[in-house]
Amino acid sequence: MKARVHVMLKNGVLDPQGEAVKHALGALGFQGVEGVRQGKVIELELADGTTEATVRDMCERLLANTVIESYSVELG
């Protein structure tokens, strides 16, 4: 089975990379880009039967720094 973990900076934590991407899109002439937030996607190949709770534990302990990042888990 597979799991996909999305890690994003929490709302309210300034994302300077997202801001830079937003400005670059503006410079390319794209209008109306009101905000860009950049995160990461981590794909996990897991033994069948691994629970969502286990993947969330992985996020809490390593994959995300919950001081500044939030995460979501997609199984399957």
Question: Which spans of this chain sit near another protein (rule: CB under 8 A)?
Answer: 9, 13-14, 16-17, 20, 61-63, 65, 67-68
Residue 13: phi and psi, rounded to 5, are -95, 120
Distance in Å, CB of 11 to another protein, minimum? 12
C-beta closer to another protein: residue 48 or 61: 61
Distance in Å, CB of 22 to another protein, minimum? 13
The number of C-alpha atoms within 13 Å of 20 and in the hemisphere containing its C-beta is 4
Tokens representing 60?
Answer: 């809490």
Distance in Å, CB of 64 to another protein, minimum? 9
C-beta closer to another protein: residue 52 or 60: 60
Distance, CA of 40 to chain centre: 4
Question: Which parts of the chain are beta strand (E)?
Answer: 2-9, 40-45, 69-75
